[in-house]
Amino acid sequence: MRWISYIVGILLLGLDQVVKYLVSSKISVGEVKEVVPGVISLTNLRNDGAAWSILSGNQVFFYLITVVALIVLFYLLYTQRQHSIYQWGLILMITGTLGNFIDRIRLKYVVDMFQVDFFNFPIFNVADVCLTVGVLVLFVAIIRDERIEG
């Protein structure tokens, strides 16, 4: 069963890179294409920072923090391998971290494309979704475990 999460992680990493490639090759930088009017659009944004371009241009910082994060995440994955819900959360977080790290190494920026149109929210990508869902899964697992122990 553990291998299924690894396969899903690899498939999501591939999806992230394919979507980034397609957006980069089909949509000009800064161009916006409505998908669901007033809800979500596709764009091609080159982000060399974090959300909302925070810390823009600090690639060395992002390289270092990503390597440290991956080491910690892989260590946690190894130590929590018997707990499937933790494993799923960690695999998703590793997938998202690797997806954006590949961009930073290869392109020196991260390709973002999903734009929420009805409120101010950072433009994001598949890797960001994996990271966010992974954090939520871990949060639920921790809360669940505290209830069982408490």
Q: Are 143 and 149 in contact (CB under 8 A)?
A: no
Q: Are 35 and 28 in contact (CB under 8 A)?
A: no
Closest residue by Cα to residue 50 from 128, 105, 132, 138: 128
145 carries an active-site annotation:
no
48 carries an active-site annotation:
no
Closest residue by Cα to residue 61 from 101, 99, 94, 17: 101
Radius of gyration of the chain (CA): 17
Q: Which of 16, 48, 103, 112 is catalytic?
A: 112
Q: Which of 16, 48, 103, 128 is catalytic?
A: 128
The DSSP output letter for 27 is S
The residues annotated as belonging to the active site are 112, 128
